[in-house]
Structure 1
Amino acid sequence: MSPFQSDTYVEETRFGFWFLRSHTWQHHVLRVAIDDLRSLFSEPPPANAVLLDTGCGQGKSFRYLRQVFAPAQLLANDADPLSVELSADEARRLGGDIRVQGGDCAHLPYADASIDLLFCHQTFHHLVEQEKALAEFHRVLKPGGYLLFAESTEAYIDTWVIRWLFRHPMHVQKSASGYLQMLREQGFEFDARNVSYPYLWWSRAKDFGLLERFRLRRPKPFGEREETLVNVVARKPLGAVAP
């Protein structure tokens, strides 16, 4: 019997699991994404929010989420039992109201319309049941609540170095526009002001930006490159009701 909370869970490599607790992950990936997502709000985020970090990994996001959004309560779940254990350790170390439990993104263990902010960072490209996960995100968010969605796209995941170092379900990878279309089809609302396409050094396909750093190649401008990252702050409409 699988120890994971999802029957379709794709287990990470040993390197990938180590990387998720590295300084690079925490400082150059998580922190940067959370700051960028905060900048994408059209209006101030809810005060004293219930914030859910779904697919929380090892809980390294908790500190940054509390610094930036100051939630009244921070909930977190992950499908991997070891990640849940490490996240719970992180929660105890930080103190405050942080509640961690096992749970599959496609079957979230939370009530309808119970979440103000839902943070899904670099998790979606690991999920096989993506449509079900988005439906669950929509279900648990309150009307007017926000999905904070940050993803790597197929252009980055489908490179030899990422395939070699990490493990992903390749048949579900999507482009930036593909992810945005999925969000709209699920009923989330956002406009161009709420979307960004970061072009960070670690996300440069194939060479991590080394050729550009050594001035051997000019960076492609926005609109002329295939985006490797997409960040979105998407809102559940105020009039939305649970299915």
Structure 2
Amino acid sequence: MSQPPFLSASYVEETRFGFWFLRSHTWQHHVLRVAIDDLRQLFDSPLPAAPVLLDAGCGQGKSFKHLQRVFAPGRLIGIDADPHSLQLSGAEAARQGLKVELLGSDCAQLQLADASVDIVFCHQTFHHLVEQEQALAEFWRVLKPGGYLLFAESTEAYIDTWVIRWLFRHPMHVQKSAEGYLQMLREQGFAFTARNVSYPYLWWSRAKDFGLLERLRLRKPPAPGQREETLVNVVARKPLVQP
């Protein structure tokens, strides 16, 4: 009896283009690097020293060098439900000379102890997950009191455009607006203020035309509050004292 190719029964396999894109220069430099640097600016308290950092949905490991640069983790853990991606993550960690613990795991069933992690990094992973509520509950469970969830997501306004639906594959019935994701975090118990949230409006996240008309000066970019947000970044904290 053959082994299932993925470690989650609800895993939505990416397209060949999508798998290639996740190792491209555009992804590494214009998406991952920019998001991690933005998340760093959203902290309103000192970073944990030598944190245990979990990269939830580490993919091909392209985030590892940026997480090391910005957060200097004492222990870096990468999880993914795709065994092939984990193999590529291991090779990437070796190329970077980084020690990374890699675990094959569904985000909705993390194989980690309660209150064992200082930072959960969840970048462009959540919109791939079918069991979103369970995954968020697992992030809460493994975080220490006072620990941080670094949450960076594309919203339904971006995912549900013809070009993204054509090039990539996502579970469309679970996509949410920026406010929808923020409400999920609040309902789980995470704490954050407006200071801990940003709504980047990057060229690659512009719905429909990737900002082409704006670059050609054929259309003015919409101001915040006058557009449907396509990205949301949040630094949310698990309170030190639980209710």
Report the counterpart of residue 155 of structure 1 in structure 2. Answer: 157
Distance in 2 of aligned mates of 1:29 and 1:75? 21
Tell which deviates more after alignment, 92-101 or 182-191: 92-101
Q: Is the Cα contact below 8 Å between 1:72 and 1:97 reproduced in 2?
A: no
Distance in 2 of aligned mates of 1:68 and 1:96? 14
Distance in 1 of aligned mates of 2:44 and 2:91? 35
Shift of 1:95: 2.3
Structure 1 gap segments, 5+ residues each = none
Shift of 1:151: 0.0
Distance in 1 of aligned mates of 2:242 and 2:150? 18
Report the counterpart of residue 166 of structure 1 in structure 2. Answer: 168
Paired residues for 1:20-31 under 5 Å: 20-31=22-33
Instruction: Report the residue type matching 2:188 in the other structure.
Output: Q
Q: Is the Cα contact below 8 Å between 1:91 and 1:99 reproduced in 2?
A: no
- Aligned with 2:55: secondary structure? strand
Structure 2 gap segments, 5+ residues each = none
Report the counterpart of residue 238 of structure 1 in structure 2. Answer: 240
- Aligned with 1:181: secondary structure? helix
The superposition leaves residues 97-140 of structure 1 with CA deviations (integer Å, 9 ceiling, x where unpaired) of: 31112111000111100000100000000000000000000000
Matched, 1:14 2:19: no
Report the counterpart of residue 134 of structure 2 in structure 1. Answer: 132
Matched, 1:203 2:200: no
Distance in 2 of aligned mates of 1:129 and 1:96? 31
Give the TM-score normalised by the residue count of structure 1: 0.98
Report the counterpart of residue 189 of structure 2 in structure 1. Answer: 187
Q: Is the Cα contact below 8 Å between 1:143 and 1:239 reproduced in 2?
A: yes
Instruction: Report the residue type matching 1:157 in the other structure.
Output: I
Matched, 1:64 2:66: yes
Count of paired positions: 241
Distance in 2 of aligned mates of 1:97 and 1:236? 27
Tell which deviates more after alignment, 171-180 or 2-11: 2-11
Alignment match of 1:47 (pick from 49, 52, 58): 49
Distance in 2 of aligned mates of 1:172 and 1:49? 31
Shift of 1:79: 0.5
Report the counterpart of residue 224 of structure 1 in structure 2. Answer: 226
- Aligned with 2:146: secondary structure? strand
Report the counterpart of residue 120 of structure 2 in structure 1. Answer: 118
Q: Is the Cα contact below 8 Å between 1:189 and 1:235 reproduced in 2?
A: yes
Instruction: Report the residue type matching 1:99 in the other structure.
Output: E
Report the counterpart of residue 105 of structure 2 in structure 1. Answer: 103
Instruction: Report the residue type matching 1:84 in the other structure.
Output: L
Distance in 2 of aligned mates of 1:110 and 1:95? 24
Give the TM-score normalised by the residue count of structure 2: 0.98
